[in-house]
Structure 1
Amino acid sequence: MMESKREVGRVAHFFPKISVAIIELKAPIAVGDKITIAGATTRLEQVVQSMEVEHKAVKSARSGQSIGLKVVGKVRESDVVYK
């Protein structure tokens, strides 16, 4: 893991049929950010294309919020999200 990346949250739940992860944020995140999701068997990188807070599309979210994020692969609960 590159040292410049910092933890921004953790996966709380994953919906495989729609490929959406619920992420509990520890730091702000915004559309356009490049993120890495990593865990014991997970390693994927993507750019945040869209996200939702309480079923409403948002451009950014802050620490303490939970977001719904469309992901490009399978992730697991407790996987760490880095930015």
Structure 2
Amino acid sequence: MLEEKVGTIDHFYTHLGVAAVRLQRGLKVGDTVHIKGHTSNFLQIIDSIEKEHHHVAAARGGESVGIRLTGRAREHDAVYKIIEENVSAS
């Protein structure tokens, strides 16, 4: 399983289960992410991304977005996108 860092959590809204994420690389609904920090460590498929209170299907690096999380995250946790490995038969 390969991972690529796509962003950092700036804030986690506990009552909403939403993380404010500053993206370094693109992210889209359906991507699997790994949230990793001092006390956070879980995988999740992204089912919702919001930018300026509007649902979007994808976001680019340099943007700040909100993503709904099933686990608890904390400020400065890293967000990694899981990259599928292509296995070719030789």
TM range (shorter): over 0.9
- Structure with larger Rg: 2
C-alpha separation in 2, matches of 1:10 and 1:40: 13
TM-score normalised over the length of structure 2: 0.88
**Which one-letter code corresponds to 1:33 in the other structure?**
D
C-alpha separation in 2, matches of 1:48 and 1:42: 16
Unaligned 5+ residue runs, structure 2?
82-90
C-alpha separation in 2, matches of 1:71 and 1:50: 9
Unaligned 5+ residue runs, structure 1?
none
What's the offset of the Cα at 1:40? Answer: 0.7
**Which one-letter code corresponds to 1:48 in the other structure?**
I
C-alpha separation in 1, matches of 2:43 and 2:10: 18
C-alpha separation in 1, matches of 2:40 and 2:6: 16
C-alpha RMSD of the superposition? 0.7
Trace 1:29-48 onto structure 2 (pairs within 5 A). 29-48=27-46
C-alpha separation in 2, matches of 1:61 and 1:18: 20
How many matched pairs? Answer: 81
> Where does residue 20 of structure 2 map in the other structure?
22
Q: Deviations over 1:21-65 (max 9, x none)?
A: 000000000000000000011001100001100000000000000
